[in-house]
Structure 1
Amino acid sequence: MPHWIALTLTAGLLTAPTAGQPGRQNDFIEAAREFGVPLSVLLGVSYLHSRWDDHGGQPSVSGGYGPMHLVDGAAVPLGSHHEGDPRGDDSRPLLRPLPQPPRAPEDTLRPAARLSGASVALVRRDPRANIRAGAALLASHRVRPGGEPRDWYEAVVRYAGSRGFADEVFSVIREGAARRTDDGSYVRLVPAPDAVPPPPARTPMLGGADEPAARAQGRTECPATLACEWMPAAYARFGKKKHKDYGNHDRVNGSRRIDYIVIHDTEGSYQGIPSMVRNPRYVSWHYTIRSSDGHVAQHVKNRDIAWHAGNWDINARSIGIEHEGYLARGGTWYTEAMYRSSARLVKHLATVHEVPIDRAHVIGHDNVPGTTPSTVPGMHEDPGPYWDWGRFFAMMGAHLKPSGSGSSVIIRPAYDRHRPRYTGCSGRRPAKDCKPHGSSSVWLHTAPSEQAPLVDDIGKRVGADSTYSVYDHSARASTGQRYAVAGRSGDWTAIWYLGQKAWFHNPASAPTAIPAAGPLVTPVKNTVRVYGRAYPEKAAYRASRTRFQRHVPLKYVIRKGQSYSVGTTVAGTFQKAASMNPAHHDLVQGALRYHQIQLGHRLMFVKAKDVRVIG
């Protein structure tokens, strides 16, 4: 531990280092002392917002700056990633999204700067000034006397505008936390197991959406420990003719099978979500999680089909969760509060719907396959290489651990230390290298050398080489994904990937993968076709009014001698939904079996009759 931190644990209390010594820990200690805020409360609030990082002075997706996430409403970037056809169903016309402009968030940067006596510019760019300003703002919200953390509960609610956030702050205080921040400082919050919020005689404050009257009415489907708001998606007809179209999801009578939970990012701010999801001409998803405080809004019932993944087969069997953020800045502002809420929600949904918590079933939008060769290039890339899958799974108690003899591997670099090259984080200069940052992905080469070209993805980058762009996952494998081993050479490991050997650096001194066990498939003929959806055989449609959905292979093939990991095995189904009345829907269930395989960065399907299971 660096000598300037001088942390000492004495009778459960944190002894402050000598005043004037450098380090972010000392910045928190001095600010807490100056404004009379309990150190544990100040550290807990900052940890949930930023994990005590400054993020290079860059604003969050909701316009927050610095370790205390002080919001400048004018700094909120606009935008949305729902382009193309998120419904992904050939049997219905393309739905064209019509996003609405977002509202500006409440400004906390200027009041905090004024209270601390610092300039707005200094509070934006200087972490120490930002911590002081955050402490001053927190102190201004104090509503009851006392110096114990529980006496500051309502102040934390007012600071973040969220009781759910305040509850989570107290969870952090009880658990403790420690990490090295982005300036190299070591910061520690000593666990305080006895820190609890005051009794739940809570009066309504701020009109907070996380005081969920909707939950009391039984509308939301979040776990009881998670603040959740009911913000319903539109379900209405639109167009000049009465029956022209409707949006923005499909309702289901009874229940449906859930095989996947899909992790998205919004590529826009939370302020735009209400107007978007309430627009029947737009698209839908089941939940949105706010970055600043982890607040959750549910839009579509779990039993209903939201239009979110761009692949109707996946939509029909999945729940979609949007996370406020941008994939090119995800490592900066996918906040601790958001990860914790998401992990709690996903674990709950996985338990209720019996979804295995692994990377074959809890997937990114970037893992969803295209439906036909023409749709593959336009499929989405979120949440991107900065989403910390390892930490996310650990939060759900599903730690990625070694197993088996090594016929397959699970990708698992050490996120904070693993800092591969990416380009294009700045839209103005797409060729410029991104700032070094932890990542969950490894690059894949055609040979065991950093100088070897990246492997090509003939489906996504038609006639073009793979790139190091943060938006291009043509030659990437991500944490938690399992691949069959194709070879080893020194510090390099090869996997079967998109029909070819793909090499990644995997030295024993800093491994980026762990040995894994699990079933693999290998072709029983020279070449085997690959599909983006598991649709039934033609005979299954004879007893229905639904037109046969052709089996359209993608451009990829797998060959004899290659092997790929199996995630799940399903019988083909097709959900016909072209009416607002669920009674007119038709579920076609076939006997044709498919194996879901990890072909490349995305999951895909092969017909079980074309392969045999090994391992």
Structure 2
Amino acid sequence: MRKTARIPRLTAVLAAAAAGALALSGTMPSNAAQSPEPASAPGLADAFRTAASQFDVPRELLVGIGYAESHLDDHDGQPSQANGYGLMHLVSNPSNPTMSEAAKLTGLGVERLAKDPGSNILGAAAVLDSYADQAGLTAEARKDPGKWYEIVAQYSHSADGPTARLYTDEVYKIIGTGVGAEGVSTKPLKVTPDRGQYANVAPLGTRTPASIAAVDYPGAIWNAASTSNYRVGRTAAITTIVIHVTQGSYAGTISWFKNPSAQVSAHYVVRSSDGQITQMVAEKDTAWHVRSANPYTIGIEHEGWVDQPSWFTDAMYRASAALTKNIADRRGIPKDRAHIVGHNEVPGNDHTDPGPHWNWNYYMQLVNDGNPPPQYNFSTYGTGVRVRSAPRLSASIVTTLPGPTQVYVVCQVQGDTVTAEGVTHNWWSKLRDQGGYMTNIYIDHPSAQLPGVPICT
């Protein structure tokens, strides 16, 4: 039987909405219901406790979903790759309506649900509550987190059964181990999930002869992206590996790449917690991840968010580096920062991933069997040695190096022919990165090489 509606006492539950009337395109109409402004903002722990009580959803379940989706970070209201918002990832895309459902159920506007953590938690609880009602979950059953398995799977709006099980199993794993995030904690809780219709769904990662044959990297799990999200074949030789961050969860990213409306994909996705790797596009085919550079690149997505270093675990670094090394060795790609680049370093792209928290020095050491990539000491002479932002003549000049001096550079890609101070050649060199400070900085014309060191190409 349908319970009476549980409309929250807003002044006791919600944090103040952000000032202004910034609209979230593609989410809800501008006349969506707005609530009164509360007088004060509770902490996350109180928000989870209140939402759980208000909507009869186990608190451990709410926290588990939030941690799986965002590590309990709202990312300042920035959307995920799938157009999801907040630490509970309320989504607005053609296959996931949780944002609009939350707005309808709570009477809160999309702006608040997206940008206010307390409202976001409340909206997710309301959606889960409505799914529990639809499933006929009794008041007694609601007390057992294990009885919510199918409801959590529904909340994910995954593309298929195996992906829904991947998502939901991760939530229950978090419930079992407990959460110790800043301001919010749960004790480890032993739960027996009632998987219902998912009991007979093979978990993602179950290998078959066909899936083993499909992967290019033996350590990967095959789970194909929608054919609407990549192009069969290549129009250029593969020369570059691109490092991405998903701006979302592992399961959510896999599900998004399987969604025909996404119009985006990558060859591989790497999980944060243990480095599990899923391949979604064959390397011989063109994934859509870096615009005009798609034809000659292989894309590797990493679970997490660019502004949150907690996602970049050692397990992820090691698994991804092993994958990158394997690709480079198989395809003859130099294992250096000329050919292993971030999304933000590819011309014609406006993304910032993998961001300032990605440890390039450590990653490249792992790719090179624990050794740093080769760096060479070039002598320069004269004055006004130009330092550019990319290996091409049209790139902006960011500074000059007074001469004579010596600089350490990394072998870099072939570039345009450069004539300067009586020296003509067609190769460029890159200044050594300094924790991101000197990323993508090139010098025009190192005038002398160390004896025995080959020309950088």
What SS does structure 1 have at the residue aligned with 2:198? Answer: coil
User: Does structure 1 conserve the Cα–Cα contact (< 8 Å) formed by 2:81 and 2:246?
Assistant: no
User: For 2:126 and 2:338, how far apart are their aligned partners in 1?
Assistant: 46
Is 1:531 aligned to 2:413, yes or no? yes
Residue 69 of structure 1: aligned partner = 89
Deviations along 1:324-361, one digit per CA (max 9) or x if unpaired, are 99xxxx646x8988999976973673586587999788
Residue 281 of structure 2: aligned partner = 300
Residue 84 of structure 1: aligned partner = none
The one-letter code sitting in structure 2 at the alignment partner of 1:187 is: G
Residue 365 of structure 1: aligned partner = 343
User: Does structure 2 conserve the Cα–Cα contact (< 8 Å) formed by 1:54 and 1:65?
Assistant: yes
User: Does structure 2 conserve the Cα–Cα contact (< 8 Å) formed by 1:248 and 1:284?
Assistant: no
What SS does structure 1 have at the residue aligned with 2:224? Answer: strand
What SS does structure 2 have at the residue aligned with 1:165? Answer: helix
Equivalent residue in structure 1 for 2:323, among 325, 349, 359:
349
What SS does structure 2 have at the residue aligned with 1:43? Answer: helix
Mapping of residues 455-534 of structure 1, within 5 Å? 456-457=388-389, 459=391, 462=394, 464=396, 466=398, 531-532=413-414
Is 1:39 aligned to 2:56, yes or no? no
Equivalent residue in structure 1 for 2:170, among 142, 164, 168:
168
Residue 24 of structure 1: aligned partner = 44
The one-letter code sitting in structure 2 at the alignment partner of 1:229 is: A
What SS does structure 2 have at the residue aligned with 1:26? Answer: helix
What SS does structure 1 have at the residue aligned with 2:63? Answer: helix
User: For 1:27 and 1:530, how far apart are their aligned partners in 2?
Assistant: 51
Deviation at 1:64, TM superposition (A): 2.2
What SS does structure 2 have at the residue aligned with 1:123? Answer: helix
User: For 1:235 and 1:114, how far apart are their aligned partners in 2?
Assistant: 35
Compared with structure 1, are the counterparts of its residues 220 and 137 closer, same or farther at alpha carbon in structure 2 (3 Å cutoff)? farther
Residue 22 of structure 2: aligned partner = none
Deviations along 1:493-529, one digit per CA (max 9) or x if unpaired, are xxx9xx9889xxxxxxxxxxxxxxxxx779xxxxxx9
Deviations along 1:286-315, one digit per CA (max 9) or x if unpaired, are 24789xxx9998553246676977999x97
Bigger proportion of residues as strand: 1
User: Does structure 2 conserve the Cα–Cα contact (< 8 Å) formed by 1:165 and 1:295?
Assistant: no
User: For 2:118 and 2:110, how far apart are their aligned partners in 1?
Assistant: 13
User: For 2:42 and 2:87, how far apart are their aligned partners in 1?
Assistant: 16
What SS does structure 2 have at the residue aligned with 1:553? Answer: strand
User: For 2:217 and 2:371, how far apart are their aligned partners in 1?
Assistant: 33
Deviations along 1:166-190, one digit per CA (max 9) or x if unpaired, are 12223333444444xxxxxx32333
User: Does structure 2 conserve the Cα–Cα contact (< 8 Å) formed by 1:111 and 1:137?
Assistant: yes
Mapping of residues 170-319 of structure 1, within 5 Å? 170-179=172-181, 186-190=182-186, 192=188, 194-195=190-191, 197-198=193-194, 202=198, 217-218=210-211, 219=214, 228-232=223-227, 248-249=233-234, 261-264=241-244, 270=256, 274=260, 286-287=267-268, 298-302=279-283, 319=298
User: For 1:464 and 1:134, how far apart are their aligned partners in 2?
Assistant: 47
Mapping of residues 318-329 of structure 1, within 5 Å? 319-321=298-300
Residue 151 of structure 2: aligned partner = 155
Deviation at 1:530, TM superposition (A): 5.6
User: For 1:173 and 1:54, how far apart are their aligned partners in 2?
Assistant: 20
Deviation at 1:68, TM superposition (A): 1.7
Compared with structure 1, are the counterparts of its residues 135 and 177 closer, same or farther at alpha carbon in structure 2 (3 Å cutoff)? same
User: For 1:139 and 1:392, how far apart are their aligned partners in 2?
Assistant: 46
User: Does structure 2 conserve the Cα–Cα contact (< 8 Å) formed by 1:55 and 1:66?
Assistant: yes
User: Does structure 2 conserve the Cα–Cα contact (< 8 Å) formed by 1:71 and 1:106?
Assistant: yes
User: Does structure 2 conserve the Cα–Cα contact (< 8 Å) formed by 1:263 and 1:383?
Assistant: no
The one-letter code sitting in structure 2 at the alignment partner of 1:262 is: V
User: For 1:613 and 1:303, how far apart are their aligned partners in 2?
Assistant: 37
User: For 1:553 and 1:229, how far apart are their aligned partners in 2?
Assistant: 41
What SS does structure 1 have at the residue aligned with 2:242? Answer: strand
Compared with structure 1, are the counterparts of its residues 251 and 354 closer, same or farther at alpha carbon in structure 2 (3 Å cutoff)? closer
Bigger proportion of residues as helix: 2
What SS does structure 2 have at the residue aligned with 1:106? Answer: coil
Equivalent residue in structure 1 for 2:100, among 101, 106, 110:
110
Is 1:51 aligned to 2:71, yes or no? yes
User: For 1:345 and 1:458, how far apart are their aligned partners in 2?
Assistant: 29
Q: How many residues align?
A: 360
User: Does structure 2 conserve the Cα–Cα contact (< 8 Å) formed by 1:72 and 1:109?
Assistant: yes
User: Does structure 1 conserve the Cα–Cα contact (< 8 Å) formed by 2:270 and 2:303?
Assistant: yes
Mapping of residues 417-456 of structure 1, within 5 Å? 456=388
Deviation at 1:115, TM superposition (A): 3.1
Deviation at 1:164, TM superposition (A): 1.9
Residue 379 of structure 2: aligned partner = none
Deviation at 1:39, TM superposition (A): 1.9
The one-letter code sitting in structure 2 at the alignment partner of 1:553 is: N
Mapping of residues 69-148 of structure 1, within 5 Å? 69-73=89-93, 104-116=94-106, 118-120=108-110, 122-142=112-132, 143=135, 145=141, 147-148=143-144
Deviation at 1:612, TM superposition (A): 5.2
Compared with structure 1, are the counterparts of its residues 150 and 339 closer, same or farther at alpha carbon in structure 2 (3 Å cutoff)? farther
Q: Percent identity of the aligned residues? A: 27
The one-letter code sitting in structure 2 at the alignment partner of 1:164 is: L
Compared with structure 1, are the counterparts of its residues 152 and 381 closer, same or farther at alpha carbon in structure 2 (3 Å cutoff)? same
User: For 2:85 and 2:283, how far apart are their aligned partners in 1?
Assistant: 35
Q: Structure 1 residues 455-464 or 167-176, which shifts more?
A: 455-464
Q: Structure 1 residues 165-174 or 196-205, which shifts more?
A: 196-205
Deviation at 1:131, TM superposition (A): 0.9
Deviation at 1:27, TM superposition (A): 0.5
The one-letter code sitting in structure 2 at the alignment partner of 1:111 is: E
User: For 2:186 and 2:258, how far apart are their aligned partners in 1?
Assistant: 38
- Gapped regions of structure 1 (runs ≥ 5): 1-19, 74-103, 180-185, 237-246, 253-257, 278-282, 369-377, 409-453, 467-474, 476-495, 503-519, 523-528, 534-550, 566-597
Compared with structure 1, are the counterparts of its residues 222 and 457 closer, same or farther at alpha carbon in structure 2 (3 Å cutoff)? closer
- Gapped regions of structure 2 (runs ≥ 5): 1-39, 159-163, 248-252, 377-385, 416-423
